[in-house]
Amino acid sequence: MHATTDVRTRILLAARVEFAAFGLAGARIDRIAKAAAASKERLYAHFADKSALFQAVLDAGAARFHEAVALDPADVPGFVGAAFDHAHEYPEILRMLTWARLEGMEYDLPGGSHPDRKLAALREAQDHGHVDPSWAPEELLPLLFGVAQAWVQAPLVAHANASGTPLAAHRASAVEAARRIIRPRS
């Protein structure tokens, strides 16, 4: 690995941890640089400012998600299961997105991450009778994300109430909820 790529990667990883814990406003560049074993000067050689670094971390997370989680028109509940898995593997990305909303930050999806492909897949699923056609795909997609992310975003009391329930059961519930949401009306 090239030295500058290595430094950039270390910075992005350290920044993801810092931003997830403290948000954009609370994150400190000196802590990120120290955790990345890089000087602040090296950090600023890669990123213009803290906001640009935050955006770069979110972009990397979005790219990872869109590479890993496709929406197959023939298996929309499978998409919810894959999104569930991703949310549990990378919960810090959801925390960062929550921080961005709380701080009023505008976030632009990176190229190739626009939801048009997922919306087109939902329309195709409707055309093939796999999804209730009364749903507007633009309304359905956020609901499916909400179902997939429910256990990562759930209040602590929900986790306490389900303390003996394995993660696989939560995943199965999310997939079943998606199946019921999209079920075509008879």
- Residue-range domains of the chain with CATH: 3-182 (1.10.357.10)
Q: Does the structure show a pLDDT above 70 at 50?
A: yes
Per-residue pLDDT tens over the stretch 130-148 = 999 999 999 999 999 999 9
The Cα 71–Cα 186 span in angstroms is: 24
**Residue 4: per-residue pLDDT:** 55
Task: Kindly report the number of other CB atoms within 10 A of residue 143's CB atom.
Answer: 15
Per-residue pLDDT tens over the stretch 93-114 = 888 888 888 888 877 666 655 6
Per-residue pLDDT tens over the stretch 52-91 = 999 999 888 888 888 889 999 999 999 999 999 999 999 9
Per-residue pLDDT tens over the stretch 148-175 = 999 988 888 887 888 889 999 999 999 9
